[in-house]
Chains A and B, each alone.
Chain A
Amino acid sequence: MRPARGWIPLNLSALWAYRELVYFLTWRDIKVRYKQAALGITWAIIQPVISMIIFTLIFGRLAGLKTDANIPQSWYPIFSFAALLPWQMFQGALQRAGISLVGNANLLTKVYFPRLIIPFSAVAAGLVDFGAAFLVLTGLMIYYGVPFQWNMFWILPLVILALLSSLAVGLWLSALNVQYRDVQQMIPFLLQAWMYASPVVYSIDMIPAKGPWRFLYSLNPMTGVIQGFRWALLGGTPPNESMIASVLMVLLLLISGLFYFRRMERTFADMV
């Protein structure tokens, strides 16, 4: 050990060596979340279903928002659910990751392990909720008679992209939160604004195709993810160009986030 200055190599292999700890912390997060709740893991299903019902009533019926051009309007519930699924996973993962370091202050000050493990496992815990809600989606797809297509398997890389997005932003926010507790106050607003900046309740068709708007809109990584979900599952507007922008944006945020995190890491134990 020696005083560290400046930028630090990422050293991701250390993470691999500590993979069991990632597993245990993830498992703890999930286990604790649903302990002593009568409905337990059912909440992972109830939350998106209720959101879907609200969105369908408010945005689908009252506001009359349109689905993608090639998705029937009567599919609005499943249209919004296909977006809610990755969105709520992203939202939950980001929320947990953002406060993860401060929430685990007792670990930071007492034990050594690669600090990246903490936001990693906070994000990974989002997969379980996703899995539960995915069952509901499958049910809805059968109910609405959505035809099977091979494109559906695209959701696997899309899920990874969503997790990486939340990890990328989560790395920045968690490290900042160690120093500035303002961050944890900001996260709910950030997420609320972010949801409306993503095509969750409305269709990407509403964004003008002319001019720079689509491109700017696609810098939001969740645009590509959600658009991709609708395309893969329901045959909505293909995400082509927005996907490239989203992936590049995630990579940019992720790499910068990793380096920023590693740079701040050495002060965590003293600052938290």
Chain B
Amino acid sequence: MASDVVIRVDGLGKQYRIGTLGMSYRTLRDTVIEVARAPLNLFRKSELEPAERKNGHTTIWALKDISFEVNRGQVLGIIGRNGAGKSTLLKILSRVTDPTEGFGEIQGRVGSLLEVGTGFHPELTGRENIFLNGAILGMHRTEIARKFDEIVDFSEVGAFIDTPVKRYSSGMYLRLAFAVAAHLEPEILVVDEVLAVGDAEFQRKCLGKMSDVAQQGRTVLFVSHNMSAILRLTQETIVIEKGKMGMRAPTPQAVDYYLSQGYSQEGQRFWTAEEVPSEAAPFCPVAVRLTNIQGRVVDTVRSVEPCAIEFEYELQSAVTGLRVGVYLMSTRGEYVFTSFDTDETDRFERLPTRAAGRYVSRCILPADFLNEGRFVIGVNASSYRVKRYFQDEKALTFTVDAIGAPGMQWPEPRMGAVRPRLDWEIEVL
């Protein structure tokens, strides 16, 4: 291993067993039954494929063929969709779980933050939890004692330091938890999405602390869904797709790739025949999908680029006065807008009746419109005051990424569902 390579991972794979009953652990009874059945199985083998029958479990590879190296002092980002295997990779690297195949090597003391506040006990006071949590994260008692005041300052819970943390607000709790974690000083830091805590002000502080760590020349592996944080903190990034290495590239390139990548199963929603209520007839929804500027179906779009919502449907017979439309909601359930394809009166008059057939109603969301966050698309098909054929208020969710949007030079969340680029004038009076 070259002296500068501190993390080397070669052909790493992790296989998980998924219980058919969705049970995460076996009971003694299961084993007893299996043992009792084992002799029976000898007589009727070859009827089912052995892997399936052996214990009613199927397996999946959460991670497969992951290989990379990280040099000393490098800050490497890891991005990928939920369930792509990022967390599994970090768990293997922090030795929480063993790989099924391949191997990894790390030189130096590793501090891993897979979660903030691991081991916090609600009954203990803030002071006690700082020591406990510090010890769990691998700090020595003297080290914690030395940094104690700094940790308390950073967490801003000073007055409540001798109160049990169960009496803390969730914000205070998270601040204290992150404060301990932020003062960990290992040679290699493995961080999983810990910036997603606390209020805007505190997030800004955390981001600052993280970039301090990065500038001190320590090696950092950083997983996040927050593309602006990834862009800010890392030079190089790995994209993980469905457990495999997607690409490794300089961060801006990797982020571009990740955001523009078509994930065909995501970003669209199909309705099966069973999901459509019979009273919807003759209207039959087929799919709703979100496409980016390149026309790819995506589940993440950029705030600074236009995107399109398409609703595909079939009419089994002609329908008079039909309007097909979408709702847009924030994930908290606030409506952003409602819009129908025949909102323009002249279009409505031109299309009084739609003949039987297959249609797509498509609307374009302009660039510089939505703020960052998750949004929910709902669909509706109705004839005004006659009949509502079909409605699904949670048809599809997607993410808006605000890279390049106005005000992104300040890493603070902006209030509001929209983030328009407005013309400002500054006048000296």
Contact = CB atoms under 8 A, between A and B. Distances in A.
Partners in one complex: yes
A112 interface: yes
B43 interface: no
A111 B94 contact: yes
A112 B95 contact: yes
Interface stretch (B20-28, B229-237, B378-386): B20-28
Contacts of B114: 109-111
Interface residues of B, number: 43
Given A1-B95, A269-B97, A110 B115 contact: yes
A111 B131 CA distance: 16
B310 to A, nearest CB: 41
B16 interface: yes
A101 to B, nearest CB: 12
Interface in A105-125: 106-113
Nearest to A33: B123
A35 B123 contact: yes
Contact of A2 (B94, B103, B138): B103
Contacts of A180: 25-28, 31
A24 B96 contact: no
Consensus secondary structure, chain A interface: helix
Interface in B84-109: 91-106
Contacts of B95: 1, 112
A219 B300 CA distance: 66
Interface string A1-16: 1111000000000000
A62 interface: no
B140 interface: yes
B99 A1 contact: yes
Given A110-B96, A112-B95, A271 B25 contact: yes
A32 B136 CA distance: 17
B97 A179 contact: no
A73 to B, nearest CB: 45
A74 B106 CA distance: 66
Interface residues of A, number: 35
A181 interface: yes
Nearest to B12: A1
Contact of B137 (A35, A111, A269): A111
B204 interface: no
Nearest to A27: B132
Residue among B31, B110, B128 having the largest count of chain A Cβ atoms under 10 Å:
B128
B132 A3 contact: no
A3 B93 CA distance: 12
Interface of A: 1-4, 20-21, 23-25, 27-28, 31-32, 35-36, 104, 106-113, 178-183, 266, 269-272
Interface of B: 16, 24-29, 31, 91-106, 110, 112, 114-115, 118-119, 121, 123-124, 128, 131-132, 135-138, 140-141, 164
